[in-house]
Structure 1
Amino acid sequence: MTNPKRSDIISNSASPMMNIFRKGLLHGAGFNTDKLQTRPLIAIANSHTELTTGHSHLDRLAGKVHDGILAAGGECAEFNVPAPCDGVAMAHDGMRFVLAQRDQIADMVET
C-alpha cells in the first residue's frame, strides 16, 4: 500500500471534474500544476503588518522561508493570519480578545 502525499488531496480526487477545477484555480494563482504532482506544497502562515513593530519584519522572514522551500524542492503558498499585539490592545476592551485571536490563528494554521 502506498503512502500518498498530503498535497495529493489538491490534485487527485474521485471526481475528474473537480481535479480540472482545482488545477485551473491553482494555475490561475500562478502555480505550475505539473510541478505540484511531484513536489510537496508547503504553506507559510504570515502575520506581517506595518501597524506593529513586532510584525513588521515578517515579510522579509517569509521571503527567506519561501526561498528555502523552493531550494529544497518544494512549492509554497503564503497566507496571512491576524497580527494581534498586546501593546496596542492594552488598557481598553480589545485586550480581552488577544488570547482568543491566538486560538483562532492556531486553528487557521492547523486546518
Structure 2
Amino acid sequence: MITPLDDLYDTNVLDERMRRRIGGFYRNRGVKALEIIDHDRVKRYRDFFVVVGETGEYVVEGNYCSCDDFLHRGGMCAHILAVLISRAIGRYELIDLWYYEDLKDQGITPI
C-alpha cells in the first residue's frame, strides 16, 4: 500500500490535494502534524529533531518521540508525522547546535 508520505517523498510538494490525503489517511494526527508545520514548529538540531507541541518540546529521533501519545499508545504520533513531512518538503528551522547546548544556553539543565 502506497501512503501519502510515500508520494510526498517522491514529489516534495505539499499542496492542497496532498494535505487532504494526509488528513484522510492519518486522521487527527495528520491534521495536527499539518498545523505544526504551518506554524513552523519543527526544529532540526545536529543530533535530532525537536517539535514544539501544545504542552512542550518533544524530541523526535527516527520512529521515537518523547510525547505522552507515543509513550502510551505507540505508533506514529503527530510529532513524528510532522518531522517526516517537514523532511520531505525541506521545511524546518535548522539549528546548528547540539540540542543539549541549546538547553544550556537557555539555562536549562537536562537530566
TM-score (norm 1): 0.29
For CA contacts below 8 A with separation 6 or more, give which structure has more relative contact order.
2
Task: Give the structure with higher Rg (CA).
Answer: 1
TM-score (norm 2): 0.29
